[in-house]
């Protein structure tokens, strides 16, 4: 009896070769790079979860939470919002109801063991000393404010939530002229520190950021210094069981990963879209527009 010898088809051979290629590439890729890639993905996922929780909180409360402080046990400070104790602090994970790795100072950590930063706008367009986006009911008060007028003396209404000083610079009575023209300022995210740079947004109500893997290089005993790009995302020291560095102004840098000497950048920066936030608040009935 003749027996037929069975061989591999071209498709089967191609599949085997593809598998071998995948295995080989995973072996050749340095383990440290694989770990780094995983941590970057984890960090982005954490920040995405925080953004979703912030939107959910705003839908339920009509405002954004204040940042947590070194002593607030993972809660916004002050409780109930209003004018925040600090505009630049940490994730209020207890207030938001999210879980993650927490350190001895009750701060919500990224995969490299450093707290995620959380900064909030202190915009106050009607100059009443009540921060617009963290004070309950203030957004609706602004929409209803009959003294906030445009260039044609028409009530701004919901437009007041996004008005900038530059937009209203030529108006006879610019609503954004108070406090050194900063009462309409939100958070700004750029691609670099150069005067000619891509601007991602000038109206972010909140920014969430990680200082990346190299945060230990420029403090915690490290001898290095942050690059000019990374230095833009830090500026204030907060003392706890160790020193934490957080942002100090309204300007942030979001840049592609770089290991170029003197131009290093591994921060991960993201922000809330003000227009999406306003849309969600309108849909939830937290604010209404005529």
Higher pLDDT, 5 or 174: 174
175 and 232 housed in the same domain = no
The rounded distance, in Å, linking the Cα atoms of 203 and 105 is: 31
Note whether residue 230 is domain-resident: yes
- Domain presence at residue 98: yes
**Whether residue 48 is found in the same domain as residue 154:** no
pLDDT, tens digit (0-9, with 9 covering 90-100), for 238-289: 999 998 999 999 999 999 988 888 788 899 999 999 999 999 999 999 999 9
Are 147 and 273 members of one domain? no
Do 112 and 54 reside in the same domain of the chain? yes
Question: Residue 20 domain-assigned?
Answer: no
pLDDT score recorded for residue 260:
84
On whether the CB atoms of residues 84 and 134 are closer than 8 A, the answer is yes
Q: Does position 117 have pLDDT exceeding 90, yes or no? A: yes
pLDDT tens column, 42-97: 999 999 999 999 999 999 999 999 999 999 999 999 999 999 999 999 999 999 99
What does residue 159 show for φ and ψ, rounded to 5 degrees?
Answer: -65, -25
| CA dist., res. 179 & res. 117, Å (int) | 26
Q: Are residues 197 and 277 in the same domain?
A: yes
- Asked if 227 and 259 sit in the same domain, the reply is yes
* 141 and 212 share one domain: no
Of 290 and 137, which is predicted with more confidence? 137
Residue 11 confidence class, pLDDT cut points 50, 70, 90: low
**Looking at the domain assignment, is residue 289 inside a domain?**
no
Residue 79 lies in a domain: yes
**Residue 226 to residue 269: CA distance in whole angstroms:** 16
Inter-CA distances, 39 with 35, 161, 230, Å:
6, 36, 19
Please indicate whether residue 56 or residue 218 has the higher confidence score (pLDDT).
56
pLDDT at 3: 52
pLDDT in tens, 128-171: 999 999 999 999 999 999 999 999 999 999 999 999 999 999 99
Same domain membership, residue 255 and residue 190: yes
Of 145, 179, 213, which residue is a domain's last?
Answer: 179
**Shared-domain flag, residues 116 and 230:** yes
100 lies in some domain: yes
Residue 222 pLDDT greater than 60, yes or no: no
Residue 2 has pLDDT above 90, yes or no: no
**Is 16 inside a domain boundary?**
no
The domain containing residue 168 runs over which residues?
122-179
Does 192 score more than 80 pLDDT? yes
- Residue 17 domain flag: no
Q: pLDDT at position 226, please?
A: 82
The number of domains in the chain is 2
Instruction: Say yes or no: 146 and 217 in one domain.
Output: no
| Cis amide leading into 78 (omega within 30) | yes
Domain-ending residue, one of 157, 179, 201: 179
Single out the residue in 160, 179, 198 at which a domain terminates: 179
pLDDT category at 27 given cuts 50, 70, 90 is low
Q: Residue 199's beta-bridge partner residues? A: 190
Per-residue pLDDT, averaged over 224-233, amounts to 84
Q: Examine the domain organization and report whether 41 and 167 are in the same domain.
A: no
The reply to whether 149 and 221 lie within a common domain is no
Average pLDDT of the chain, as a whole number: 90
């Amino acid at each position: 009896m003749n027996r037929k010898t069975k061989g591999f088809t071209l498709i089967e051979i191609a599949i085997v070769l593809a598998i071998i290629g995948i295995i080989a590439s995973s072996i050749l890729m340095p383990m440290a790079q694989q770990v780094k890639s995983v941590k970057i993905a984890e960090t982005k996922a954490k920040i995405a979860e925080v953004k979703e929780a912030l939107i959910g909180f705003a839908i339920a409360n009509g405002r954004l939470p204040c940042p947590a402080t070194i002593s607030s046990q993972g809660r916004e400070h002050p409780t109930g919002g209003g004018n925040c104790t600090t505009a630049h602090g940490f994730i209020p994970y207890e207030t938001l109801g999210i879980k993650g790795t927490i350190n001895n100072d009750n701060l919500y950590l990224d995969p490299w063991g450093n707290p995620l930063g959380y900064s909030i706008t202190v915009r106050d367009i009607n100059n009443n000393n009540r921060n617009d986006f963290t004070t309950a009911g203030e957004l609706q008060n602004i929409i209803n404010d009959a003294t906030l007028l445009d260039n044609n003396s028409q009530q701004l209404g919901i437009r007041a939530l996004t008005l900038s000083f530059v937009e209203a610079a030529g108006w006879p009575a610019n609503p954004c002229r108070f406090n050194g023209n900063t009462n309409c300022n939100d958070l700004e995210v750029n691609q670099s520190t150069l005067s000619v740079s891509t601007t991602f947004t000038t109206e972010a109500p909140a920014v969430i950021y990680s200082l990346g893997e190299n945060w230990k290089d420029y403090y915690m005993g490290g001898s290095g210094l942050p690059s000019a790009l990374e230095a833009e995302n830090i500026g204030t020291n907060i003392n706890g069981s160790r020193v934490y560095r957080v942002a100090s102004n309204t300007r942030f840098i979001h840049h592609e990963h770089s290991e170029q000497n003197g131009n290093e950048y591994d921060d991960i920066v993201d922000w809330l879209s003000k227009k999406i936030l306003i849309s969600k608040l309108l849909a939830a009935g937290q604010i209404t527009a005529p």
